[in-house]
């Protein structure tokens, strides 16, 4: 008989519950300095947290012929902000069908599972559902099932059976082959766990059937692969849509010098990697705004609400548009220049 995870989100088994509580207490605390400017928090990076964006498959959607260039049409600016105004989608106010205020979603916690792409896309989907006043049903959480998305991302990429909980995925697969094709159910229908092999278990029939009613709608631009320029991304944010994307995580994002000691890094705005730093992996996150004066994007992470500034950090414009030099490529070869970021997506309409 196929094992199914228990309905209780903490787990019914006391042993597993104890491990979860112990690991939570062991997570490093965040350090905040009031003497620093408010643009970015000082954070201690919990380096044991999961990553998971497949950075080795970059560039698929960088061709200008295959991506969307947004236009600053005043009729399309959903937020009512001017061309020179900053944007912070965290200030968006949602209401339910009865007109009651709905709290803005807290930052998710992916734990040690390599499910950052599922976490990023789940938030984008949830944001649109709240914006369109859509629900999964009476009494159900508005959080889309991250484990549902993650399972089918890995199934599409053929990595379910490799017994590696850190294996990642591409955002494009989550968008095209899961949310657009299969849909997604509520997290009440298929719970999220990160501490064992539950990611290898296919969602049950109830979850699959409920997901069929909640998909990215197939109309004009229901989902958009965005051209990754600062101005283009800012225009999309002005229109009121968060943007999921992937970036390469270098050592300076994770650790202090010397890196071999693996002491969690402390930083305000994300540091610019220096030549020779190693890539630790790829990570998917979400743009939710920008601050032009500081030249940073506001980025939602999936390492829990106690990380960073309530789960958020700040990424310099230079990271979005910039390149780094790959030390493994011939210095005389133009291919030595590689992008920090790739795979930018925005969801504009859901059911």
Tens of pLDDT, residues 50-97: 888 887 765 444 454 455 655 444 344 445 556 668 999 999 999 999
Cβ(277)–Cβ(52) under 8 Å?
no
pLDDT at 307 > cutoff 80? yes
The gap between the terminal CA atoms of the chain, to the nearest Å, is 34
Tens of pLDDT, residues 4-61: 444 443 333 333 333 333 333 333 333 333 333 333 333 444 445 688 888 776 544 4
Residue 167's pLDDT band, with cuts at 50, 70 and 90, is confident
- Helical H segments across the chain, by residue range: 14-26, 116-131, 146-157, 171-173, 205-211, 230-238, 251-254, 317-321
Helix or strand run (H / E) with residue 296: strand 296-300
Report the sign of the C-alpha dihedral through residues 160, 162, 167, 169, in that order: negative
Residue 286's pLDDT band, with cuts at 50, 70 and 90, is very high
Helices then strands, counting H and E runs in the chain, come out as 8, 13
**What is the C-alpha separation between 158 and 53, in angstroms, rounded?**
15
Integer CA distances (angstroms), 172 to 57, 114, 125, in order: 10, 16, 14
Residue 299's pLDDT band, with cuts at 50, 70 and 90, is very high
In the block, residue with structure tokens 């792409």: 117
pLDDT score recorded for residue 53: 85
Cβ(263)–Cβ(255) under 8 Å?
yes
Choose the weakest-confidence range: 50-54, 175-179, 294-298: 50-54
pLDDT at 147 > cutoff 80? yes
Integer CA distances (angstroms), 203 to 171, 253, 267, in order: 20, 34, 39
* Mean pLDDT of the 110-128 span: 96
pLDDT score recorded for residue 302: 96
**What is the C-alpha separation between 343 and 334, in angstroms, rounded?**
21
Instruction: Show me where the domains of the chain are located.
Output: 14-347
pLDDT score recorded for residue 254: 82
What is the distance, to the nearest Å, from the Cα of residue 157 to the centroid of all Cα atoms in its chain?
19
Tens of pLDDT, residues 85-114: 899 999 999 999 989 999 999 999 999 999
Tokens representing 348 are 């504009």
**Class assignment of domain 14-347?**
alpha beta
Q: What are phi and psi of 21, to 5 degrees?
A: -65, -40
Cβ(311)–Cβ(24) under 8 Å?
no
């Amino acid at each position: 008989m196929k094992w199914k995870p228990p309905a209780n989100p903490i787990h019914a088994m006391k042993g597993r519950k104890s491990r979860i509580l112990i690991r939570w207490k062991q997570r490093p605390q965040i350090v905040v300095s009031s003497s620093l400017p408010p643009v970015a928090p000082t954070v201690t990076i919990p380096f044991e947290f999961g990553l998971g964006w497949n950075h080795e498959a970059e560039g698929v959607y960088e061709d200008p012929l295959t991506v969307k260039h947004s236009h600053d049409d005043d009729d399309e600016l959903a937020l009512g902000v001017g061309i020179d105004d900053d944007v912070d989608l965290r200030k968006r106010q949602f209401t339910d069908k009865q007109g009651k205020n709905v709290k803005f979603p807290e930052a998710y916690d992916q734990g040690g599972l390599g499910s950052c792409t599922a976490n990023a896309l789940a938030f984008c989907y949830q944001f649109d559902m709240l914006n369109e006043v859509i629900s999964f049903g009476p009494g159900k959480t508005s959080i889309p099932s991250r484990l549902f998305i993650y399972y089918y991302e890995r199934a599409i990429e053929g990595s379910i059976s490799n017994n590696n909980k850190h294996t990642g995925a591409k955002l494009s697969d989550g968008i095209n082959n899961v949310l657009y094709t299969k849909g997604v159910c509520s997290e009440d229908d298929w719970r999220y766990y990160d501490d064992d092999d539950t990611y290898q278990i296919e969602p049950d029939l109830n979850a699959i059937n409920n997901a069929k009613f909640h998909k990215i709608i197939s109309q004009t631009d229901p989902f958009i692969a965005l051209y990754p320029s600062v101005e283009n991304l800012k225009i999309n944010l002005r229109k009121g849509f968060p943007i999921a994307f992937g970036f390469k995580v270098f050592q300076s994002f994770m650790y202090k010098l010397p890196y071999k000691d693996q002491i969690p890094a402390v930083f305000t705005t994300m540091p610019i990697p220096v030549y020779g730093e190693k890539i630790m992996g790829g990570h998917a996150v979400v743009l939710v705004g920008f601050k032009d004066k500081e030249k940073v994007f506001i980025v939602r992470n999936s390492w829990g609400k106690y990380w960073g500034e309530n789960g958020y950090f700040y990424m310099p414009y230079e990271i979005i548009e910039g390149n780094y030099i790959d030390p493994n490529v011939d210095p005389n070869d133009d291919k030595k220049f590689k992008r920090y970021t790739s795979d930018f997506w925005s969801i504009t309409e859901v059911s």
